[in-house]
Amino acid sequence: MAIDFKLSESIDTQRQMTQMVAEQMMRPVSRHFDEHEHDIPWDYINAMWPIMRQNPMFGVVDKPETAVDPNKPKKPKTGNVRMVHLIEALSWGDAGIYLTTPGGALGGAAVAAAGTSEQKSRFLARFADSETPVWGSMAMTEPQAGSDTSAIRTTAVRDGDSWILNGEKIYCTGGRLSLEESQGLVVVWATVDPKLGRAGMKAFVVEAGTPGMEVTKLEHKMGIRASDTAAVVFTDCRIPFDNVLGNPEIPKPEAPAASADAPKGFKGAMKTFDATRPAVAASALGIARAALELLREQLTAAGVAIRDDVPVHEMSAVERDLLELEAQHKAAWLLTLKAAWMMDSGEANTVEASACKVKAGEAATVITQKAVELLGPLGYTRELLAEKWMRDAKINDIFEGTGQINRLIIARRILGFSSRELK
């Protein structure tokens, strides 16, 4: 099946509307929220909530057709392709403000990927039914456990019909919004048996207001300052037994395969990233597009002609740099579209999701840094947003799997090695 790059009318219309939101609601306040970290962009949030309620998973889950005509060809799914186009446009406006968009986010995506049918119904309904904005988040990283999830120390101990969670999580994107500013939820990764490593890892849903859970800190960051990044502590935090995503049992080698309705906890939740890594790539490329457009505009205003119809050896250094940056941007965008299209087509896309995340994170970092350089002293000042975009871009090479970890994932899949064989 060939990839069709032509946008459907509905996606193109939504993309244009989203670009208008970015231009009119986000870009004008971008500097304010950069300089007033931890302020919440409520005007944007309240404007977006009615839209997000109609599609709480931000396009990842296609709406079912109300009536199916057996004689009509089935419409192809487009949720993920739609998602990356919208996220790219919003991040062009402001990547930090985009991250405050209400909805399921990583937490909702984890429930969708690893939850049972009952859990999806119970936990995801709030993202469509609530009259006020609601957020989801994920808590995985710990002070001693970043990329190495086997080092996670947060524990979940069964106590009758409950689990009791104890531990500390850091760098939880949207932690304050999901747990203090709404009746949201957080998906917490914890171990039921530290001796088992990843085999003992489970994902648990903890709802806002649960006793024993507290947001203890908001980070002061280099970039994406409109987005809150929280530390969350769990102290004898009791949750219902059926809040563990998927199968609560620890798999044994001789045990039969789990049913389709109960994905394995760790592997099921990890599938979340096959959908969300293209989203991170799209966000990075929205920032990169903003920097490229500003750079071309400023060079043109300064009388620097950018020729793309002459041999490379006849171009100036600035021309070569700009065209190389634009080529890197386009390459990363095509990788991102492929990963999203494969997800919509039901194809395994773990390699492609990691590849686009690596390429986009690296491209956005290089593009924004080079933009500041080529703009000279003006690029380093706050008169333009170029220096902010350079600070915002770097996170896309770090969160949801660093560039190094995603390269390992790609290598393992291509070479057929396990995580123990290739570290």
Residue 61 has pLDDT above 80, yes or no: no
Within a domain: 16: no
284 close to 363: Cβ distance less than 8 angstroms = yes
User: Would you put residue 54 in left (φ > 0), alpha (ψ -120 to 50) or beta?
Assistant: alpha
Cα–Cα dist 176/154, whole Å? 19
Query: What is the structure's pLDDT at 273?
Result: 86
Same domain for 295 and 247? no
How far is the CA of 397 from the CAs of 147, 230, 364, 391, 404, in angstroms?
Answer: 13, 19, 9, 12, 9
Within a domain: 3: no
In tens, the pLDDT along 154-181 reads 999 999 999 999 999 999 999 999 999 9
> How confident is residue 386, by pLDDT bands cut at 50, 70 and 90?
very high
Residue 108 has pLDDT above 60, yes or no: yes
Average pLDDT for 276-280: 94
Average pLDDT for 103-116: 91
- Residues of the chain above pLDDT 90, percent: 74
* Domain range enclosing 288: 267-415
Residue 400 annotated in active site: yes
Residue 165 has phi, psi (to 5 degrees) of -100, 135
> How confident is residue 261, by pLDDT bands cut at 50, 70 and 90?
very low
- Average pLDDT of the chain is 90
Same domain for 277 and 405? yes
Average pLDDT for 178-203: 92
Query: What is the structure's pLDDT at 62?
Result: 46
Q: Give kind and range of the element (H or E) at residue 51.
A: helix 42-54
Query: What is the structure's pLDDT at 113?
Result: 85
Within a domain: 161: yes
Cα–Cα dist 332/287, whole Å? 13
Within a domain: 235: yes
Q: Is 114 exposed, middle or buried (0-12, 13-18, 19+ CB in 10 A)?
A: buried
Query: What is the structure's pLDDT at 262?
Result: 39
Please give the radius of gyration of the chain, using alpha carbons only, rounded to the nearest integer. 22
Same domain for 330 and 398? yes
> How confident is residue 250, by pLDDT bands cut at 50, 70 and 90?
low
Question: Which CATH number do you get for residue 148?
Answer: 2.40.110.10
Within a domain: 75: no
In tens, the pLDDT along 234-246 reads 999 999 999 999 7
- Supply the DSSP symbol for 159: E
Query: What is the structure's pLDDT at 3?
Result: 67
Q: Which of 262, 295, 325 corresponds to the end of one domain?
A: 262
Average pLDDT for 187-193: 94
Number of domains in the chain: 2
Query: What is the structure's pLDDT at 148?
Result: 79
Same domain for 392 and 271? yes
Average pLDDT for 142-153: 86
> How confident is residue 247, by pLDDT bands cut at 50, 70 and 90?
confident
Q: Which of 129-138, 212-221, 259-268 has the lowest mean pLDDT?
A: 259-268
Q: Helix 317-344 to helix 79-98 angle, to the nearest 10 degrees?
A: 130
Same domain for 323 and 209? no
Q: Which of 17-26, 55-64, 280-289 has the lowest mean pLDDT?
A: 55-64
- Residues of the chain above pLDDT 70, percent: 90
Within a domain: 83: no
Q: CA angle, corner 292, sides to 286 and 295, nearest 5? A: 140
Residue 405 has phi, psi (to 5 degrees) of -65, -40
> How confident is residue 66, by pLDDT bands cut at 50, 70 and 90?
very low
Same domain for 292 and 407? yes
Nearest to 136 by CA among 83, 161, 164, 99: 99
Same domain for 395 and 305? yes
Same domain for 250 and 161? yes
Q: Which of 242, 262, 282 corresponds to the end of one domain?
A: 262
Residue 221 has pLDDT above 90, yes or no: yes
Query: What is the structure's pLDDT at 70?
Result: 61
Q: Which of 218-232, 243-257, 299-313 has the lowest mean pLDDT?
A: 243-257
> How confident is residue 65, by pLDDT bands cut at 50, 70 and 90?
very low
Q: Beta-carbon neighbour count of residue 208 at 10 Å?
A: 19
Residue 325 has pLDDT above 90, yes or no: yes
Question: Which CATH number do you get for residue 349?
Answer: 1.20.140.10
Nearest to 392 by CA among 211, 186, 227: 227
Within a domain: 108: no
Within a domain: 346: yes
Average pLDDT for 59-72: 51
Same domain for 280 and 169? no
Same domain for 257 and 370? no
Q: Which of 262, 278, 301 corresponds to the end of one domain?
A: 262
* Set 88, 181, 207, 400: catalytic member: 400
Higher pLDDT: 348 or 65? It is 348
Same domain for 235 and 311? no
Query: What is the structure's pLDDT at 82?
Result: 93
Cα–Cα dist 361/376, whole Å? 23
> How confident is residue 270, by pLDDT bands cut at 50, 70 and 90?
confident
Same domain for 377 and 314? yes
